[in-house]
Every structure is written in C-alpha cells, then in structure tokens.
C-alpha cells in the first residue's frame, strides 16, 4: 500500500465514519491494512488517510495483538502524561518527543461491526492516540510545544527539499 507523505492534503482531513451497512464493502481494504502493519516491523499502526482513504479506519499492532479500530472514540484518558519519541510512516525518518496520556479508554467497532472497548496503557495507548489523531486530520507534529515547532519547521523544510 502506498503511504501518503506529508504534506499530502488527505492527512489533514477529518475522516468520515463508516456505517454498519457499508462495513462489508471495506473488508478487503481492512485486511490489506492489517497485512501491511503486520509485515512491517517498524510500523505500530496505520490509519486509512495514510493510504488515501478519508474513512475512520485504523489498525494498531502491539505484541501479538492487532486491533482494527473502526469509528474509534477516546472516552477516557489519564491525567498522567508521558513524553516519548514518536515517528510516523507519513513523515519517514522524523522522530520527536510527544506528550500524551499514559492511559486511554477507547470504544470502537471491530471489522465485524461489533462494539469493542479497550483500556490501553503505555506504548499501546500512545499508538492508539497517534492513529486516532490521523482520523481527525492531526499529525504528531501538531502536538509539539511552541519551541519544538520552531525547530521542526526547519527540519520539515529539509524533509520537503525546500
């Protein structure tokens, strides 16, 4: 699957939800997303806009578990935060410290349209938040502090070859 790279406009779009009726239309697409994430040892997740589809579908792989998140919503997050380095397939080679909640509770549909809930901690919580941000048209660079953003502008100019 071809990954859309920053500054592709689709990465900034809010994705549309999927209805249960149209879920079967996306099954093959979802299977390809899962396969893509599971094949790439460097990928913790993938969101539909990263491959050109503005729909609320994300896949997160953690350990031996792969989660398909359809229409996910964060319904709770810890007050406790952590700052860890993040990267993104749409910004290859760029790794920056990002502040996120240490724990989140998420409701979503699985690929069969069944409502699921997870309470994610640590790396899984970070990956889920990262992918859900993609569905809202946000990138991890949007979560940086003011001075970090100033530095990143210079880095992004090099990244874009400008």
Q: Among candidates 47, 42, 131, which has minimal Cα distance to 93?
A: 42
Q: Would residue 84 show up in a list of annotated catalytic residues for this protein?
A: no
Residue 37: which domain range?
Answer: 9-159
pLDDT at 98: 96
pLDDT at 58: 98
The reply to whether 142 falls in a domain is yes
The reply to whether 103 falls in a domain is yes
The reply to whether 108 falls in a domain is yes
Q: Among candidates 123, 15, 117, which has minimal Cα distance to 61?
A: 123
Domain count, the chain: 1
pLDDT at 162: 64
The reply to whether 2 falls in a domain is no
pLDDT at 130: 98
The reply to whether 106 falls in a domain is yes
Non-local (6+) Cβ contacts of 31 within 8 A are none
DSSP secondary structure code for residue 16 in this structure: B
Is residue 59 exposed (0-12), middle (13-18) or buried (19+ Cβ within 10 Å)?
A: buried
pLDDT at 1: 84
Nearest 5°: the CA angle 112, 121, 82 is: 135
Of 28, 85, 86, 131, the catalytic one is: 131
Residue 116 to residue 83: CA distance in whole angstroms: 28
Q: Does residue 135 contact residue 58 with C-beta atoms inside 8 Å?
A: yes
Per residue of the chain (162 residues), what is the pLDDT tens digit?
899 999 999 999 999 999 999 999 999 999 999 999 999 887 899 999 999 999 999 999 998 899 999 999 999 999 999 999 999 999 998 999 999 999 999 999 999 999 999 999 999 999 999 999 999 999 999 999 888 888 888 888 877 776
Domain with 137 in it: what CATH number?
Answer: 3.90.45.10
Rounded to two decimals, the pTM is 0.95
The reply to whether 4 falls in a domain is no
């Amino acid at each position: 699957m071809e990954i859309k790279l920053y500054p592709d406009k689709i990465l900034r779009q809010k994705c549309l939800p999927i209805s249960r009726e149209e879920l079967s239309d996306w099954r093959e697409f979802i299977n390809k997303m899962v396969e893509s994430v599971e094949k790439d040892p460097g990928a913790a997740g993938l969101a539909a806009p990263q491959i050109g589809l503005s729909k609320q579908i994300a896949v997160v792989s953690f350990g031996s578990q792969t989660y398909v998140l359809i229409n996910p919503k964060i319904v709770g997050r810890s007050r406790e935060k952590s700052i860890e380095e993040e990267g993104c397939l749409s910004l290859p080679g760029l790794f920056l410290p990002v502040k996120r909640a240490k724990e989140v509770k998420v409701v979503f549909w699985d690929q069969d349209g069944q409502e699921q809930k997870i309470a994610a901690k640590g790396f899984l919580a970070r990956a889920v938040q990262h992918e859900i941000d993609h569905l809202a048209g946000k990138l991890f660079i949007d979560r940086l502090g003011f001075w970090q953003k100033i530095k990143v502008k210079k880095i992004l100019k090099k990244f874009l070859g400008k």
